Amino acid sequence: MRHLISVAALALFPVLATAADGLDWAYPVTPRPEPLDTLVLKQVPGSERAYTQAQIDDAFNPPDWFPDEHPTMPPIVARGEKPAVRACALCHLPSGDGHPESSSLAGLPVSYLMRQLAAFKSGDRTGVRATTMITIAQAISDADALAASEYFASLKPGIWTDVIETETVPKTYVGAGGMRFVAPGDEQEPIGNRIIVLPQNPHLAELRDPHSGFIDYVPTGSIVKGAALMAGGEGKTITCTICHGPNLPGLGEVPSIAGRPATYIFRQLNDMKIGNRKGPWVELMKQVVEKLDDNDMIALSAYLGSLDP
């Protein structure tokens, strides 16, 4: 298990987003993008490649900083298909580890990935975070959907997030790519009932460096509470290992959940509870989430995120 208890020093950026009563921490709204620089070439450590910020955020040709570290990407993953199907690598990265606004796909079963694309297309997956994927799923061809699913299934998930328990977090704002950054002033605030995700290196996160991950700050005591809930919570829920297997690597079409980013896990649990995810497989999960409140789902997500994938 990966469980860090120290708080790292983080860089500062403008515009605040303070604690809220709702779930804006889990479903951040991406601000209107600023014009992107098309002149200055940028690099990340260890890569000989260079891109402008406009190229880095190009939805139809995002950067591949380390092409030797993964299999050859299918065209749909590397470049997408204009006008509606963005390159999968834009949000999920060539590594499949993803960014906080998306999800980690590396190592998920082909059948599971195909089923999710079908759910976005049919309306079985909805909600504010599903809008982009609904558009993509409705436009992607069956052949490209299969090629993308097979690519991400072939990847091994990495240790992409560190889970840190804390009472307080820096004040933050939502910036480029729907990511959260530290606000100026070095101010702290109670974490409350939230998971606050910050990049380990804000600059490299904006460059979509697949070597630079994220920190999931969670309320103190979350991991122990989440471990108890994973085991059934004395009848409050159902032990995860029944379907996801010992050590939670997944079984058959059931996905692995160990080491997946905590905010992503929370969104899925909450979406299943409130009806934004439907279908016969989700009905099985309804028994898991129906008695869980937000604090329970935060704790369970923190525990799962703290595990090695």
Q: Identify the CA nearest to 195 among candidates 217, 164, 171, 172.
A: 217
DSSP 255: P
Q: Has residue 19 got a pLDDT over 50?
A: no
Which distant-in-sequence residues (6+ apart) come within 8 Å of 161 by Cβ? 197, 213, 214, 215, 216, 259, 261, 262, 305
Residue 161 CA to residue 305 CA, distance in Å, equals 7
- b/e 229-241 (16+ beta carbons within 10 angstroms → b): bbeebeeebbebe
* 29 band by pLDDT with thresholds 50, 70 and 90: confident
- Give 9-78 as a 3 state SS string: CCCCCCCCECCCCCCCCCCCCCCCCCCCCCCCCECCCCCCCCECHHHHCCCCCCCCCCHHHCCCCCHHHH
Question: Rounded to a whole number, what is the largest CA-CA distance in the chain?
Answer: 59
- Residue 20 confidence (pLDDT): 37
Residue 78 CA to residue 60 CA, distance in Å, equals 8
Residue 93 CA to residue 207 CA, distance in Å, equals 11
Q: Has residue 7 got a pLDDT over 70?
A: no
Q: What's the token pair of residue 309? A: 């994938």
Q: What's the token pair of residue 1? A: 């298990």
Q: What's the token pair of residue 65? A: 């900083």
- Residue 126 confidence (pLDDT): 95
Average of per-residue pLDDT across 60-70: 97
CB-count exposure of residue 283 (10 Å: 0-12, 13-18, 19+): exposed
Tens digit of pLDDT for each residue in 182-210?
A: 999 989 999 999 999 999 999 999 999 99
Q: Has residue 305 got a pLDDT over 70?
A: yes
User: Rounded to a whole number, what is the distance in angstroms from the first to the last CA of the chain?
Assistant: 10
Q: For residue 30, which phi and psi values (nearest 5 degrees)?
A: -70, 130
Q: Identify the CA nearest to 74 among candidates 154, 151, 156, 155.
A: 151
- Residue 2 confidence (pLDDT): 54
- Residue 32 confidence (pLDDT): 87
Average of per-residue pLDDT across 34-50: 96
Q: Identify the CA nearest to 288 among candidates 244, 238, 231.
A: 238
Average of per-residue pLDDT across 144-149: 98
- Residue 1 confidence (pLDDT): 54
- Higher-scoring residue by pLDDT: 282, 128: 282
